[in-house]
Amino acid sequence: KAGVTQTPRYLIKTRGQQVTLSCSPISGHRSVSWYQQTPGQGLQFLFEYFSETQRNKGNFPGRFSGRQFSNSRSEMNVSTLELGDSALYLCASGTGTGGNKLHFGNGTRLTVT
Amino acid sequence: LAKTTQPISMDSYEGQEVNITCSHNNIATNDYITWYQQFPSQGPRFIIQGYKTKVTNEVASLFIPADRKSSTLSLPRVSLSDTAVYYCLVGDLAMNYGGSQGNLIFGKGTKLSVKP
């Protein structure tokens, strides 16, 4: 079974630009969640989608948004990039039916200059 | 929301048992406790999950006391390849908490170093 795939693996953007990250979940998984990982703040939950609906959202500004398609693939968008958005962005997929047994991708490393 | 606290680092030797404790005083009734392992340049990998009492699988055990305000991940007979960061996660992704607050809280991680 193929794992969770995130693209691109690395990304360099300039402050003020916007960026879109992509996540393909494990086949059959209907839940996709996104996380930001930084050395200072650790792993922080951004939001979760289940069957194309955002079910939960973390404490991040509205510049961070996402969506999920009918095939469960998900995208995350960050607008008006700030230097502090430099981080590893991880997505994870799961059945979404209870508990937190998640399968993570290896992330997209975003650098904002 | 449950805030989690775990040791920043731990050292061990090959063959020893390692116990990592996570404190989560404000855990909610519906919250699960889940542990992940992360190696550099990789996403976290699921280790074990529990709700109460003890859970054991082929790689670890998870001990949860009756009040559920803490949990202990036990790794039997660690090897060099167990050197990684271990995260405690409290919450339930399937629970709609409403509002804009996140419902999944990760600990800051415990960096385990296993020496030969």
- DSSP letters of B23-74? E-TT--TT-EEEEEEE-TTS--EEEEEESSEEEE-SS-EEEE-TT-SEEEEE
Contact of A1 with chain B, judged by CB distance below 8 Å, is answered with: no
> According to the model, what pLDDT value does residue A22 have?
98
Q: What percent of chain A has pLDDT over 70?
A: 99
Per 3-state DSSP, chain A is made up of helix, strand and coil in percentages (nearest 5) of: 5, 55, 45
3-state secondary structure of A11: strand
Quickly state the pLDDT bin for B26 (edges 50, 70, 90).
Answer: confident
> B34-92: per-residue pLDDT in tens?
999 999 989 999 999 999 989 999 999 999 999 999 999 999 999 999 999 999 998 88
Answer for the pair B36, B48: CB distance below 8 angstroms, yes or no: no
**Nearest neighbour of A100 by CB, restricted to B91, B97, B101:** B91
Q: What number of residues does chain A have?
A: 113
Reading the block at residue A61, the tokens are: 């500004």
pLDDT surpasses 50 at A92: yes
Question: Would you call A103 and B46 a contact, using CB atoms and an 8 Å cutoff?
Answer: yes
Question: Would you call B109 and A42 a contact, using CB atoms and an 8 Å cutoff?
Answer: yes
Top residue of B4, B24, B93 to mutate, by most chain A CBs within 10 Å, is: B93
